Structure 1
Amino acid sequence: MARGLFAESGADLKLVGVRKQFPGYTAVEELDLTVPAGTFFALLGPSGCGKTTTLRLVAGLEEPTAGRILIGGTDVTDTKPYRRPVNTVFQSYALFPHMTVLENVAFGLRRRGIGDPVEKAHAALRLVELDHLADRKPAQLSGGQQQRVALARAVVNRPALLLLDEPLGALDLKLRRQMQLELKNIQSEVGLTFVHVTHDQEEAMTMADTVAVMNRGRIEQIGAPEEIYELPRTAFVANFLGQSNLFGGTVAESGSGAFGVDVAGRRILVPIDRAQRTTGAVTVGVRPEKLLLVTEEPAPMAGVNVLGPGRVTDVSFSGVSTQYLIDVPHVGTVIVFAQNLVFGPVVEPGAEVWVTWRVEHGFGLADAPAASALEQAHEALVSGVEG
């Protein structure tokens, strides 16, 4: 479908020193953010982190306490919501029940006096593959179909910026994953700038070109999904975007490409270019899927870290992989995700095991004391459940 039918291009979004205070608390703290035109941007974080407030500030539904909001280089901080080149798709579809699907999509065009509203509405419905249901009422559609109609209604208005506020939250898991791919394809097709708010880590990583992880009104880290996952800066990010094994220790040596950390009597090597801190007390980590589980103490090998022995305390089958929890003395619980290549678990609870991982898979956090990092890790895990 021709991109020009909907919008010449999206516009960039810039927040400069934006702060939002409510009585008794600050929801957004001095936020500086740039979203390039034509990209799919995700604001990811737990409930109460400020992401939805940020979206409402951009839409004009809230007024910032301080700072400026620019869309396509134009300052819209004091511009009324209906005058901003923005459309929002909410979790609640808010379709007019007495109108047909086609009438719902064409409604905004007719109201604004845009030419050829029916033709444009049909084109938007073809984009979301629902033109064959144009004459149905919303009540005759499934939840996923209603969400696609809401998306078509937003896209047909040719906004420079499309805001998505947890738009897939009401859908079941299988449909949500299908819609994730469809949303990404639609964004690529029409070339708009999408800003998507979600607490779903997989959703953010699946769809977005860039992810910003928010915590307590601030952005903790921003970058491509792969970059943030592979190189988290803080314990909060490491455990909100996926899971991580975090170890506290003291730097004992430093070489040309890696430094050694004393972790419960074991020397753990971490690449210098994958660490935020390389001296003193540090927190280092590795993702659970990077670990290998072995039942005999491995011989020392260049480029490989070893931790153990420990005891398997829990084995959980999840289909694609099995999760093992291992209690390592003076270290704590280590999580291992092992791909299910054989039937049944590799080891049972109570087994003595060691874990190994390649040095290049480790990372070092900005968090200095281990206790602080572990507290933040716990906070991230709890936030993920609540969010």
Structure 2
Amino acid sequence: MATPGSFAERGADLRLDQITKSFPGHTAVDSLDLTVPAGSFFALLGPSGCGKTTTLRLVAGLEEPTSGTITLGGKDVTDTKPYQRPVNTVFQNYALFPHMSVVDNVAFGLKRRRIADPMTKAMEALRLVELEGSASKRPAQLSGGMQQRVALARAIVNRPALLLLDEPLGALDLKLRHQMQLELKSIQAEVGLTFLHVTHDQEEAMTMADTVAVMNGGRIEQMGSPQELYELPRTAFVANFLGQSNLLDGEVTGTDGDLLVVRTDAGSLAVPTARAVTTTGRVLVGVRPEKLKVRTAEPTPEAGRNILGPGHVVDVSFSGVSTQYLVEVPGAGRVAVFAQNSKGGPRVARGTEVWLTWGVDHGFGLEAPPASGATPTTQPAPGLQSAPTVGAVA
């Protein structure tokens, strides 16, 4: 393995100031301000068309911004040509030369730039990704995951100030993708380079990145650590894109100590004031499905717990590690619950009358949409539907 930090000679921070990119009839990136600290693993996460790939192309120099500035390591590179920027990109399709050996692929850029001792440096990069034993092979002789590691070694060997990852694991199967997520994170920690990772896969972003910026409509909706974004989303979009949430429309009627009291069509609910984006008027009371418990007998009201029900189980989906229940609750619509299968398979059958409870501290409050009559949102987010969960059934 390479000496920790040996590839980090030129690591630098990235700063975007009021970056806008407009195309005819469409603004892909809208007045974007973003700072990626040197040496961090940073993810831009969002659905197709949100502007994340355009942002990556702007940083790489493959697109020119309509306005704004891009600074890398304190140097303005807004008008710098792509080949003049200390940036390398790892693409989903690897783009390896099929007629060259693995080590020649890695050394190719070094040779073109007439860097001294290119083969030694290439072998060092291959050792870092644990492929030195495959140096003489052709790309076609390697698995998809191994080819991805070759592409990564080829990028790292150039010692870029910034490494851009454009959906790098999208072509891999699920098991290999999970393995590569851990390997990429380990390699980034060892080499110390700045990684900017663009992806639509929530699990991928949460697994690898130190900081995640969720993009929507060319803007950043929310930015923070994966845990912060998941536990305390600030918008309905983030709540349902990064995982899955139940959102119940209600009206703030007052406070009870450090809690907001919210009247919904399904009854009165409480939300910590500190976990609410807005504290007056209409709000959405949110709770993650794994925070809910299913009760087959009416629970006794107690301080610190919300109760919904009675309702009826309308769907039961077994996914191995957990079971997802959909519960129809009058006034609340369909509410999703994830229960961990610690004692076998599903324990509540379809049609059973149940009550739902959750700790008040697990909820959050969001600004309600302008339109009236909003209904709970339990839309699953791609990539996290089968994520391990910790609900309970009693």
Give 1:300's aligned residue.
301
Q: Distance in 1 between matches of 2:21 and 2:383?
A: 21
Give 1:284's aligned residue.
285
Give 1:11's aligned residue.
12
- Specify the code of the residue in structure 1 equivalent to 2:162: L
Alignment of 1:11-30 (within 5 A): 11-30=12-31
Give 1:100's aligned residue.
101
Name the SS of the counterpart of 2:271 in structure 1. Answer: strand
String of CA shifts for 1:58-105, please: whole Å, max 9, x gaps. Answer: 000000001000001100000000000100000011001110000000
String of CA shifts for 1:120-167, please: whole Å, max 9, x gaps. Answer: 101100110000000000011111100000000000000000000000
> C-alpha displacement at 1:8, in angstroms?
2.0
Give 1:236's aligned residue.
237
- Specify the code of the residue in structure 2 equivalent to 1:209: D
Q: Is the 8 A contact 2:17 2:69 kept in 1?
A: yes
Give 1:220's aligned residue.
221
Name the SS of the counterpart of 1:248 in structure 2. Answer: strand
- 1:185/1:340 CA distance change after superposition, 3 Å: same
- 1:4/1:300 CA distance change after superposition, 3 Å: closer
Q: Distance in 2 between matches of 1:367 and 1:70?
A: 37
Name the SS of the counterpart of 1:299 in structure 2. Answer: coil
Give 1:72's aligned residue.
73
Give 1:270's aligned residue.
271
String of CA shifts for 1:299-339, please: whole Å, max 9, x gaps. Answer: 01111110011110000001110000001111111000000
Q: Distance in 2 between matches of 1:41 and 1:290?
A: 28
Alignment of 1:35-50 (within 5 A): 35-50=36-51
Give 1:87's aligned residue.
88
> C-alpha displacement at 1:255, in angstroms?
2.6
Give 2:138's aligned residue.
137
Give 2:391's aligned residue.
none
Give 1:330's aligned residue.
331
- Specify the code of the residue in structure 2 equivalent to 1:313: V
Residue 249 in structure 1 maps to residue 262 in structure 2? no
> C-alpha displacement at 1:29, in angstroms?
0.5
String of CA shifts for 1:35-76, please: whole Å, max 9, x gaps. Answer: 000000000000011000000000000000010000011000
Report which of the two has the higher share of helix: 1
Residue 62 in structure 1 maps to residue 63 in structure 2? yes
Name the SS of the counterpart of 1:19 in structure 2. Answer: strand
Q: Distance in 2 between matches of 1:69 and 1:376?
A: 38
Alignment of 1:179-194 (within 5 A): 179-194=180-195
String of CA shifts for 1:179-227, please: whole Å, max 9, x gaps. Answer: 0000000000000000000000000000000000001111100000000
- 1:375/1:339 CA distance change after superposition, 3 Å: closer
TM-score by length of 2: 0.94
- Specify the code of the residue in structure 2 equivalent to 1:299: T
> C-alpha displacement at 1:342, in angstroms?
1.8
Q: Provide the alpha-carbon RMSD of the alignment.
A: 1.8
Q: Distance in 1 between matches of 2:157 and 2:373?
A: 48
Q: Distance in 1 between matches of 2:206 and 2:264?
A: 31
- 1:4/1:268 CA distance change after superposition, 3 Å: closer
Q: Is the 8 A contact 1:15 1:67 kept in 2?
A: yes
Name the SS of the counterpart of 1:273 in structure 2. Answer: helix
Name the SS of the counterpart of 1:228 in structure 2. Answer: helix
Give 1:115's aligned residue.
116
Q: Is the 8 A contact 1:293 1:355 kept in 2?
A: yes
Give 1:339's aligned residue.
340
- 1:318/1:211 CA distance change after superposition, 3 Å: same
Q: Percent identity among equivalent residues?
A: 70
> C-alpha displacement at 1:7, in angstroms?
2.3
- Specify the code of the residue in structure 2 equivalent to 1:164: L
> C-alpha displacement at 1:24, in angstroms?
1.4
- 1:62/1:141 CA distance change after superposition, 3 Å: same
Aligned length: 384
Unaligned runs of 5+ in 1: none
Alignment of 1:164-183 (within 5 A): 164-183=165-184
Name the SS of the counterpart of 2:93 in structure 1. Answer: coil
